[in-house]
Amino acid sequence: MTVGLQGRSRLTVGDDDTSIAFHSGDVPVLATPRLVALLEEASLDALAGRLDDGQTTVGMRIQIDHLAPTGVGAEVRAIATLDAVEGRRLTFSAEATEGDTPVASATITRVVVETSRFLERVS
């Protein structure tokens, strides 16, 4: 892993992406949990093809500031940049925008794991 790797994701907000659909609010705007997933998708895109066979990453921590509401039909773009590699721990800075408007900023921490060993822990 190299510091500076970047990944991207995007979403056209649909009814299934709203706070109403996620049961996290009662207004038809992009739900914070869906926004978190979009930012994580960008971090995964940065890692695509860079892990050893049998490895994956799992989310450990996300700190997010949801800065602006986004309505149904809007396109949200996310970018994640790998800022630090500390052993198996990977830290990304991420942001989402609608056009030029900041929608969110976040710090995402993911951990590299051996997939089979990780799944053995699931009951």
Express each pLDDT in 50-86 by its tens digit: 999 999 999 999 999 999 999 999 999 999 999 999 9
> Would residue 1 count as lying in a domain?
no
pTM of the model: 0.95
Domain span including residue 85 = 6-120
Asked whether 97 and 77 are in contact (CB, 8 A), the reply is: yes
Name the pLDDT band for 1 (thresholds 50, 70, 90).
Answer: confident
97 is catalytic: no
CA distance linking residue 40 with residue 90, whole number of Å: 12
Distance CA 97, CA 105 (A): 9
* Domain assignment present for 71: yes
pLDDT confidence of residue 123: 72
**Known catalytic membership, residue 23:** no
Whether 32 is a known active-site residue: answer yes
Catalytic position from the list 2, 12, 18, 32:
32
> What's the total number of domains in the chain?
1
Confidence band for 26, pLDDT divided at 50, 70 and 90: very high
Catalytic one of 18, 40, 70, 97: 40
Catalytic residue among 41, 56, 66, 109: 66
Q: Is residue 76 part of a domain?
A: yes
CATH of the domain at 78: 3.10.129.10
